Structure formats: structure tokens, C-alpha cells
Structure 1
């Protein structure tokens, strides 16, 4: 059996998440990517620059982010293996741990369901507002539940499955290169006029990096939810993203509900198509069912990581 780096990293993340005390004292590794991207954006995305120049600067930015993530991870792995010898793989697993977000996703979504269960809609809006970018002030109970379930299902890919995929395929450098790409996409990979040129390369590279993991995430959610295949295949392409629709449609199908639909961003309503079937409006019960499906999908990823280590 090869070193079970990925399996131990998944276990550490599930057990500990990223503790608040550690975040308060040291932040999170993706914060370094955010600072690097912010600095590049201030330099290369000035309104006075031409569209072509800003696009070229965006290409240089994502190249720098990927090179930084890859090289720092490679050097860190080489260092811990040199220091700890045969036991160095345990330290490598701990270096991979912050790149996964199983526990964090669960801990951010669960309070939304808890608030809805006790009838506290303002608290539920506040909780879901911490994990989504849409306007939450006017959301009713069903709108809050949909937002939480959509965020959870999409994050199965970029928070767990995709980092694990690249860790298994390319090791620690692969995982941290992916985290850099995904962080760049979340910060600058937007379609608004300010970001369109500068963030173009980051958005396209993120689409490519998530191409297989997103579809694998959808399959896992259908398996974990005991269904949803028809809805996933039919509705995945209704999403604006070429990837996010797969786990979202899979979750909608598994739960027998509709997700997406009209959503407001900064006071402007986007008339998004519905994903899924069913006229029953979701609530706290459906959020908890989604979390149960999510946890089973994560367990399946543990099995995949264990099998890959054994097969090697």
C-alpha cells in the first residue's frame, strides 16, 4: 500500500476543519493567494489600460498564482520528507489538510437549517448570507433553503472533490495549484465589466480544472442520494457554469426539489432557469437531507482515497 496521504488529509479535515483559533492566529493558506491576486489586480487591471493589456496581465497573474502554489508545495513537501524521513508522508498529509473543506461546508450550512427550525428567519438569512453572494434580505424560507442547498452542492466539487482529485493525480503541488486557480476564479473570474478581461484566464482555467471533478461530484451525489440521475443529465447544462450545474442538478434530483430560479444580485434580479422537479418548497428538512447526502458522498471519497492508496 502506498502512503495514504489523501485519506489522512480527509480524516484530519473531517475531524478538525480549520479551527477558529488557528484562523484567528494564522489565517488560512488561501489568504496568501488572495493577497497575491489582489496585488496583481491593482497593478494589471487599471481602467487606463487597454482590454488586451488587462487580459494579458490576467494571464500573467494566473500563471504566477499556479507557479507559486506549485513551487511552495513542492519545496514544503521536499523539506518535511527530508526532516522526517519515512514518516514524512504524515506531514505531507497535514500540509494537504487545509486544502480540503468537508468540515467547513457542513459547519457553515448546518446553522441555516437550525435557524429555520426554530423559526428565526432573520438568523437564517444572516447565516446563508455568509456562504452565498446573492441578496438575502428579502429571501423567504424556501429561498434561504435553496441558497444553502445550492451552495453546498456546488461546493462538493470545488471544496472537496476537485482538491482531492488533483491531490491524487499530481500530489501536494497539484492540490495547491488547484486551490490557487479556484481562489483566483472566485476573486476575479467574473463577467462584470471590471473583471471580464483581467479575470478571463482565471475563469477559463478554473472551468478546465473542474471539468472532470464536477461530473464526478454529480455521480457521487446521485449515488449518495439514491437517485437524481435523470435530473442531473437533463438539467446540468441549464446552469450558467459549465461545471456547477452537475452537482447542483444531482442534488436537486436526489432531494426531489427545484433549485436556482430567479435570484437577485446587488438589487438586480437574474432570471435563471429552474433546475430539478417538484413543487414542494424546501425548508430546514431539505437542508438536513442535503447535508446527509453530502456526508455520504464525502465518505465515498474516503473510500476512493483508500482504494487509490492500496492500488498503488
Structure 2
């Protein structure tokens, strides 16, 4: 049996998440990526630069970020294997653990469920505002549930499946390079000025690295929910992202509800197409979505365990 690094990392994340006390002392590795990205953006995304120059410098930023993440992780992996030999795998799992976000996603969704269950809309809006970028001040019960379900589905790919996929494929360098690019996409990969040109490479790199994980995410969600295949195939392209539509359509199909649709960002309404069919999302759908998410994570455990056994 090969080293169960990925399986052990999943277990650590599910059991512990990223503890607040540890975060207070050490921060999180993603924070280092964010600081590097902010430094590059401040120095290189200047108003006097044209779009071509910004795009080139944004590409350099992404290349630098990947190099720092991958080479740093490779150095850590080699050091661990040199020092621990055949007992290296638990330490490698510790090094991979922060790249996963199973527990974090669940921890952010549960307060939304609790607030909706007691019909406390202000608390539910505040809780869902922690995980979505849209305006939440005027969201009703349905809008809150829909936002939370969409975030849970998309983040299942970004926070669980994609880092696990790259950990299984390329080890520590793969999972941390992915996290670096994903962080860059979230911070600078925006289609609006002044980040449109500078963040182009970050957005395109994230699209590329999520091609396989997004489709695997949809597969796992459909298997965990026992359906949704027709909606995935029909509606995945209705999302603006080439990848996010896959897990979102899968969740919509499994729950038999409509997701996406018109949404408000920074005071302006964006008329997104609907994904899925059936009733409106509500508390019951959000509770069901969390159950599907947990089962889909369990399938990820089976994949990690199976690959370790067969390797």
C-alpha cells in the first residue's frame, strides 16, 4: 500500500479544520500568497501602464507565485523525506492539511442554516455574507438559501476536490501551486478595471487548473445525491465560468431547485441565467445540500484511499 498522505490530510481537515488558535499564532499559508499578490499588484498594476504591459506583468506575477508555492512545497517535501524516511507520510499529510477546506466550508454553512431555522434573517444575511460576494442586505429567505447552496457547490470544487486532485497527481507542489493560483484568481482575477488586464493570467490559469476538478466535482455530487445528470449536461454552460457551472448545475439537479438567476453586486443587478428547474431554494434545500456535500466529501475519501491502496 502506498503512503496514505491525501487520506490522512482529509482526515485532519475534517476533524480539525484550521483551528482559530493556530491561525492566531501562525496565520494560514494562503495569507502569504495574498501578501505576495498584493505587493505585485501594487507595484505593477499602475494607472500609467497599458493593458498589454499589465497583462505581461500579471503573467509574471502568476509565474512567480507558482514558482514560490511549488518550489517551496518541493523543498519541504524533500526535507521531510530526507529526515523521516519511511515515516515521512504523516508529516507530509500535515503539510498538505491546510490546503483542504472541508471543515471550513461546513463551518460557514451551518450558521446560515441555524439562522434560517429560527427565521433570523439579519443573522442569516450576515452569515451568508461571509461566503459570497453578492449584496446580501436585501436577500430574502430564498435568496439567502440559494446563495449558500451556490457557494457550497462551487467551493466544493475549489476547496476540496481541486486541492485533493492536485495533491494526488503532483504531491505537495501540485496542491500548493493550485492554492496559490486559486488565491490569485479570487484577489485579482476580476473582469472589471483596474484588474481586468493584470488579473487575466490568474483567471485563465485558475480555469485551466480547475478543468478536471470541476467535472469530477459534478460527478461526485451527482453520485452523492443520486441524480442530477440531465441538469448538469444541459445547464453547466449557463454559468459565466467554464468550470463553476459544473458543480452548481449538479447541485441544482440533485436538489431539483433553481440556482443562479438575477443577483445584485455592488448595487447593480446582474441578470444571470437560471440553472436547474423545479422549486425555489429554501431551508430544506440548504439542509439537503449540506448532506449531499458531506457524502460527496466521503466519496473523495474513498478515491484517496483507493489510490493509495492501488499505487
Regarding TM over 0.5, the answer is yes
Q: CA deviation at 1:146?
A: 0.3
Deviation at 1:28, TM superposition (A): 0.6
Unaligned runs of 5+ in 1: none
Asked if 1:311 is matched to 2:307, the reply is no
Per the alignment, in what secondary structure is the counterpart of residue 196 of structure 1?
coil
2:295 corresponds to = 296
For residue 119 of structure 1, what is the aligned residue in structure 2? 119
1:56 and 2:56 equivalent?
yes
Matched residues in 2 for 1:22 and 1:135: separation? Answer: 31
Residue 85 of structure 1: CA displacement?
Answer: 2.2
Q: Which residue number corresponds to residue 75 of structure 2?
A: 75
The answer as to whether partners of 1:80 and 1:91 remain within 8 angstroms in 2 is yes
The residue matched to 2:271 in structure 1 has which SS? strand
| Rounded Cα–Cα distance in structure 2 between residues aligned with 1:261 and 1:83 | 53
TM-score (norm 1): 0.99
CA contact (8 A) 2:80 2:91 kept: yes
Q: CA deviation at 1:27?
A: 1.1
CA distance in 1, matches of 2:280, 2:115: 17
The separation in 2 between residues aligned to 1:72 and 1:104, in whole angstroms, is 24
Task: Give secondary structure in 2 for the equivalent of 1:191.
Answer: coil
- Give the distance between the partners of 1:161 and 1:47, measured in 2 at CA: 37
Normalised to the residue count of structure 2, the TM-score between the two structures is 0.99
What do residues 186-214 of structure 1 show as CA deviations (whole Å, max 9, x unaligned)? 00000001111100011001000000100
Match of 2:285 in 1: 286
Partner Cα separation in structure 1 for residue 81 and residue 166 of structure 2: 20
Residue 227 (structure 2) pairs with residue 221 (structure 1): no
CA RMSD of aligned residues (A): 0.6
> Contact 2:221 / 2:292 at 8 angstroms: preserved in 1?
yes
* 2:106 aligned with 1:137: no
Partners of 1:264 and 1:253 lie apart in 2 by 24
8 Å CA contact 2:259–2:281 kept in 1: the answer is no
- Per mean C-alpha deviation after superposition, the further-off stretch among 75-84 and 11-20 is 75-84
1:40-98 Cα offsets, whole Å, 9 max, x none, are 00111011111111111000000000000001101111112222222111100110000
Q: Is structure 2 residue 30 aligned with structure 1 residue 22?
A: no
Greater mean alpha carbon deviation, residues 165-174 or residues 79-88: 79-88
> Are 1:215 and 1:243, in contact at CA under 8 Å, matched by a contact in 2?
yes
**Separation (CA, whole Å) in 2 of partners of 1:186 and 1:193:** 15
Report what 1:188 is aligned to: 188
Q: What secondary structure, in the 3-state scheme, does the structure 2 residue paired with 1:259 have? A: strand
* Aligned residue number for residue 170 of structure 2: 170
**What is the aligned partner in structure 1 of residue 265 from structure 2?**
265
2:225 maps to 1:233? no
Deviation at 1:113, TM superposition (A): 0.7
Following TM superposition, where does structure 1 have runs of at least 4 consecutive aligned residues deviating by more than 4 angstroms?
none
Aligned to 2:261, what secondary structure does the other structure show?
A: strand
Shift of 1:281: 2.3
Does the CA contact (< 8 Å) of 1:113 and 1:283 recur in 2? no
Partners of 1:24 and 1:235 lie apart in 2 by 42
What's 2:85 paired with?
Answer: 85
Q: Distance in 2 between matches of 1:162 and 1:80?
A: 24
Instruction: Report the 3-state secondary structure (helix = DSSP H, G, I; strand = E; otherwise coil) of the residue aligned with 1:164.
Output: helix
The count of aligned residue pairs is: 311
